[in-house]
Amino acid sequence: MRTPVIAGNWKMNKGPKEAAELILELKPLVEGAKATVVLCVPAVDLQSARQALRGSKIRLGAQNVHYMPSGAFTGELSAAMLREAGAEYVIIGHSERRQYFGETDETVNLRVKAAVAGGLVPIVCVGERKEQREAGYTDALVTYQTLIALTGLTPEEVKKVIVAYEPVWAIGTGLTATDEQANQTIRVIRDALSARYGKRVGNAVRIQYGGSMNPKNAKGLMAQPDIDGGLIGGASLKAADFAQVVHFDR
């Protein structure tokens, strides 16, 4: 059985003080969760979040990592830096990083390998734009993105990676794939992993849905057999909403 992972992506929201306040509000609301709960916060919040999370089972994550261990890369953070700051997880290849900051499939792969080598669990984002779905390229695209991202990892390392399917057309738009659409595409990703690394690996990798999961649609999406959690944007910024998603089984 795959343990679901509900991860909040705070994006560029909340300073250190607000981060601590939100976490302290959230902690009692997610006690007893059957899912692994992760908060991926802005880098400036890592220290205050780490302090606020003490005594809870909520895990801490970052939103990006550089592929070099050190060097002249102004504004970037290495896996070792993130680990020392308390992060255990890191989002890699989010569509916003691809769209606004020039992230490519190749740099995603470099970052994934650096994260794994540095002891972080990557949450690797893949997904299609609206015109790509309408043209019938969804399956080929998510397969390519997934396999390129994981190139160079061993099967045992792949098992520890989390993949987040985020249809780009559903992020921040209020739109969402139907439960069946989301599961179908996630099944394509799982089949691709099984074909490349074997069914044992394909069945072990946790694959999230990252297209505007919220309290209203979480239960239906999570009832699908291949959806193992969510990468939550806007709903993760409100403790009550995020808690409802975490407790999707209630």
Instruction: Give the residue numbers annotated as catalytic, written as ranges.
Output: 94, 166
Query: Residue 178: CB partners within 8 Å, gap ≥ 6?
Result: none
Q: State the amino acid at position 100 in one-letter form.
A: Y
**H-helix or E-strand spanning residue 7:** strand 5-9
Angle of helix 179-197 versus helix 138-149 axis, rounded to 10 = 50
Task: Please check whether residue 192 is in contact with residue 156, taking contact to mean a CB–CB distance below 8 angstroms.
Answer: no
Task: Please check whether residue 182 is in contact with residue 209, taking contact to mean a CB–CB distance below 8 angstroms.
Answer: yes
Task: Please check whether residue 244 is in contact with residue 218, taking contact to mean a CB–CB distance below 8 angstroms.
Answer: yes
What is the token pair recorded at 13?
């929201």
The Cα 133–Cα 137 span in angstroms is 6
Angle of helix 239-246 versus helix 16-26 axis, rounded to 10 = 50
The Cα 171–Cα 177 span in angstroms is 10
C-alpha atoms less than 13 angstroms from C-alpha of 130 in its C-beta half-sphere = 6
Task: Please check whether residue 127 is in contact with residue 211, taking contact to mean a CB–CB distance below 8 angstroms.
Answer: yes
